């Protein structure tokens, strides 16, 4: 069996923290040949997509066994694990991967769903599970929402890892100027949500695989910040699912499975859904550390069962 991981350049990857590397190691333990490439390594030759790829030994990271240009149809599964932003290059890569999908290759996650499920907007399908939320580009509409809710966070729709997320109150100095800036003078919509003060107790990342929650960590914001993202200094801690979180996972399960979203990370704050991460969900290393379980092995086993 042969897997291809489409990832960022390896120089940008910290194997001790990286979920993609955890999955590669788990695949290797099942005697699966592991190959890597970047989106820029994909090319179409007629109706066949090829990749200039490297076969690797992921443990220890990184031992390259061979370089070869291969048709994607040779792989049993392709993992699209390129980090956001979901820009033109990312979208074109999903179109190329879709060609391989049509030839019977399993692509995780489904390319069309990667395009359709913006990680902020995708959660709106379950808006009744969320804090009060507005997506808009008009400054007056956003100002009115901030006035009604008094304390809000503003998120760029194309952001990642908490980057660019700001918190403002209805009487913050220069709130209008900040909204003008983040909307590019009403040219780009943004997400505004009522601030949840309980975020100081943590923002929970839950990993859902083929519709089933497999593990979670709680992420505590560092002192002086409300953002809990690990990339911004959030502190991970051991966590289990509450009954309310189990209900959220159950409600999402069928739609995620139906849309080919095999590997998903959702964020929940005080029992309210915040985001649905489908591009390259993280947190595996931390979950495995606190649970003393190899969640990555379980993920690969579940994948093999459906290929």
State the pTM of this model. 0.94
pLDDT (tens digit per residue) in 27-46: 999 999 999 999 999 999 99
pLDDT exceeds 80 at position 197: yes
Closest listed residue to residue 7, CA positions, set 80, 108, 86, 62:
80
Please enumerate in sequence order all residues whose Cβ is within 8 A of that of 272, keeping only pairs 6 or more positions apart, or say none: 129, 130, 131, 196
Q: What is the pLDDT of residues 103-146, one digit of tens each?
A: 999 999 999 999 999 989 999 999 999 999 999 999 999 999 99
Percent of the chain whose pLDDT exceeds 90: 85
On the 0-12 / 13-18 / 19+ scale of CB atoms within 10 A, 163 is middle
Give the C-alpha separation, 253 to 270, whole Å: 20
Q: Is 240 a catalytic residue?
A: no
- Between 162 and 252, residue with greater pLDDT: 252
- Strand 166-169 to strand 106-108: parallel, antiparallel, or no bridges (unpaired)? unpaired
> What pLDDT, on the 0 to 100 scale, is given for residue 273?
97
Which pLDDT does position 223 carry in this prediction?
85
Residue 227 annotated as catalytic: yes
275 assigned to active site = yes
Catalytic choice (106, 110, 204, 205)? 205
297 catalytic? Reply is no
- For residue 120, indicate whether it is catalytic: yes
> Which one of the listed residues 106, 110, 155, 204 is annotated catalytic?
155
SS3 255: helix
Catalytic residue among 81, 82, 120, 285: 120
pLDDT for 171 equals 84
66 counts as catalytic: no
At residue 56, the pLDDT reads: 96
Q: Residue 172 pLDDT > 90, yes or no? A: no
Averaged pLDDT of the chain = 94
- The whole-number pLDDT of residue 154 equals 95
For the chain, percent of residues with pLDDT exceeding 70: 100
Per-residue pLDDT tens for 238-292?
Answer: 999 999 999 999 999 999 999 999 999 999 999 999 999 999 999 999 999 999 9
* Confidence at residue 226, expressed as pLDDT on a 0 to 100 scale: 84
Q: Which of the residues 203, 275, 286, 288 is marked catalytic?
A: 275
Is the pLDDT assigned to residue 161 strictly greater than 80? no
Q: Which of 81, 245, 277, 285 is catalytic?
A: 277
* Active-site annotation holds for 238: no
Q: How far is CA 128 from CA 123, 124, 131, 212, in A?
A: 10, 8, 8, 21
Q: Write phi, then psi, for 215 (nearest 5 degrees).
A: 175, 170
Structure-token pair, residue 196: 């949840």
DSSP 84: S
Known catalytic residue: 205? Answer: yes
């Amino acid at each position: 069996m042969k897997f291809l991981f489409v990832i960022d350049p390896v120089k940008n990857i910290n194997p001790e923290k990286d979920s993609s590397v955890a999955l590669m190691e788990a695949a290797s333990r099942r005697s699966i040949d592991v190959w890597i490439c970047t989106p820029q390594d994909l090319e179409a030759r007629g109706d066949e997509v090829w990749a200039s790829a490297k076969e690797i030994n992921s443990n220890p990271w990184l031992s390259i066994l061979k370089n070869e240009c291969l048709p994607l149809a040779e792989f049993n599964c392709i993992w699209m694990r390129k980090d956001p932003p979901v820009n033109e290059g990312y979208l074109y890569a999903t179109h190329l991967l879709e060609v391989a999908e049509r030839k019977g290759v399993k692509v995780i996650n489904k390319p069309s769903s990667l395009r359709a499920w913006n990680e902020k907007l995708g959660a709106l399908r379950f808006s009744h599970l969320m804090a009060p939320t507005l997506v808009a580009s008009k400054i007056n509409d956003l100002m009115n929402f901030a006035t009604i809710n008094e304390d809000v966070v503003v998120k760029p729709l194309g952001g990642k890892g908490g980057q660019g997320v700001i918190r403002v109150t209805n009487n913050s100095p220069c709130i209008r100027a900040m909204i003008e800036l983040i909307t590019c003078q009403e040219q780009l919509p943004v997400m505004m949500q009522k601030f949840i003060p309980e975020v100081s107790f943590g923002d929970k990342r839950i990993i859902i695989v083929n519709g089933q929650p497999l593990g979670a960590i709680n992420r505590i914001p560092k002192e002086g910040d409300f953002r809990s993202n690990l990339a911004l200094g959030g502190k991970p801690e051991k966590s289990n699912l509450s009954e309310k979180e189990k209900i959220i996972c159950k409600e999402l399960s069928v739609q995620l499975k139906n849309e080919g979203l095999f590997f998903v990370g959702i964020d929940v704050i005080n029992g309210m859904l915040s985001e649905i991460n489908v591009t390259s969900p993280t947190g595996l290393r931390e979950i495995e550390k606190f649970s003393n379980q190899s969640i990555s092995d379980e993920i690969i086993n579940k994948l093999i069962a459906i290929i």
